[in-house]
Amino acid sequence: MEAPSERGLCPNAMTTKYEERILEIGAQARNAARALARATTAEKNTALLAAADRIERSSGRILAANEADMKSATASGLASAMLDRLRLDFGRINAIAKSVRQVAALPDPVGSVIREWDRGDGLKFAKVRVPIGVIGIIYESRPNVTSDAASLCLKTGNAVVLRGGSESLGSNLVIAEALREGCREAGIIPDAIQIIDLTDRGAVRAMAEMDQYIDLIIPRGGKELIETVAKLARMPVIKHYDGICHIYVDRAADLAMAESIVINAKCQRPSVCNAVETLLVHRDIADAFLRSCGLALQERRVELRGDERTRAILGPGVALATEQDWRTEYLDLILSIRIVDSPEEAVEHIETYGSHHTDAIVTEDEPIAQAFLRDVDSAAVFWNASTRLNDGGEFGFGAEIGISTNRLHARGPMALEELTTYKYVVRGQGHVRG
């Protein structure tokens, strides 16, 4: 039996040693960030290409580590969907290396001039992109996030502190080591890529509180993870929350176009944040549109839930949508449908129930489209296009770290530019303040 004093001391002593390790990692990252900020684009690209080669050459070691991770995860009863995310094979490792090379090929935003101007008296101003500093990334099973996140941070001159799921730690460590080797080969300090090698859940809290060393945290995972990080964090957090996305089919819509957009937005990949969840239809074209589109959706095994007017058209086989349906991100082959009397009513519905993520209007009436695009307060608003196009790749950004639901700094697709901030560089000839 333990003495009370020992029971009291033990957790403290553990916490201290544990926090020391996290603080050590943070300090190394901060130190590396200062050096990395000065690296040239050529040096960073050399490191990325060397890292991609290293990843391919380390396939055997990565697969061995991944097999060990899979064994432990299977033994501990991880769900099969999670196991599939965790699993690596030669194809997936090649895809990882290819992604790293793609990041090397993207333009480097660091040092680019956002705006420059002259005051008229010789004082010259420039607003210049610079790295953010140290970025913390907290993620779940997929080991490819290790290289995706690290390569995007490296390209933008940011040190990174990675904290993957404990079930993938072995795989993550080998991948991260390949990236660090790539840095070494290019003369970049490998400490720019840090991985939290403690599986304790308290690591997330320790990272979130370490604002002297981490400038920004990006949690990639489920809502619970994001909420935990947002609550604990002392630094800014980029959140990737729900997409309760809408398509409004106006009375002036091209109905064939509308049907094609709705089917794409619902069925192409229903499990993601930019899939449509609620369809709003103008009453004047509801009958014609829903009879055709409803059938097409049902043929694709989409479950429809409609308001009373929708059911009057599609029949009682369609379940009655409840207040809760309007607020639900199904992430599945389910679609709620409501008939509205005007574009204004559609906007009102979206502003009331939506999550300000992605919303679309289908219409040939330009003034109605313009009003919708102005009045719907979402990260991305589409006219005659599918909500599924709200994506860094589709936008032409080359790569993205996610779709931010924050309003500030990064809104919508978060790519290389959003991994930078700016500073003002001012050049004078002895200018003083009068």
Residues in the site for its own copies, rule: CB under 8 A?
34, 37-38, 117, 119, 123, 125, 130, 132-133, 215-216, 236, 254, 257, 260-261, 264-265, 268, 351, 373-375, 377-386, 388-391, 394-396, 406-409, 411-413, 421-433
Q: Residues 6 or more apart from 161 whose CB is under 8 A from it? A: 25, 26, 29, 134, 135, 136, 137, 194, 195, 196, 207, 213, 214
383 neighbors 372 (Cβ within 8 angstroms): yes
Shortest gap between Cβ of 58 and its own copies (angstroms)? 33
Cβ 415 to its own copies shortest distance, Å:
12
Q: How far is the CB of 421 from its own copies (least distance, A)?
A: 5
- Please measure the distance between the N-terminal and C-terminal CA atoms of the chain and give it in whole angstroms: 75
**Considering the complex, what minimum distance in angstroms separates the CB of residue 12 from its own copies?**
24
The tokens describing 51, both together, are: 């890292």
Give whichever of 93 and 361 is closer to its own copies, judged by the CB atom: 361
User: In this complex, which beta carbon is closest to its own copies, that of residue 98 or of residue 423?
Assistant: 423
State the minimum distance, in angstroms, from the CB of residue 193 to its own copies.
20
Q: Helix, strand or coil for residue 373?
A: helix
Q: 193 near 183, Cβ under 8 Å?
A: yes
Q: Pick from 380, 413, 410: which is nearest to 396 by CA?
A: 413
Q: Helical H runs in 213-301? A: 223-232, 255-267, 283-299
State which residue, 37 or 312, has the beta carbon closest to its own copies. 37
- Of 323 and 424, which CB lies nearer to its own copies in the complex structure? 424
**Rounded Cα distance, 419 and 216, in Å:** 9
Cβ count within 10 A of residue 197:
13
Q: Is 195 helix (H, G, I), strand (E, B) or coil?
A: strand
- C-beta of 63 vs 373, nearer to its own copies: 373
**CB closer to its own copies out of 22 and 33:** 33
Closest distance between its own copies and the C-beta of residue 127, in Å?
9
Edge-to-edge, what's the strand order for the sheet holding 358-362?
319-320, 303-306, 334-340, 276-282, 245-249, 358-362
Q: Which is nearer to its own copies, 20 or 377 (CB)?
A: 377
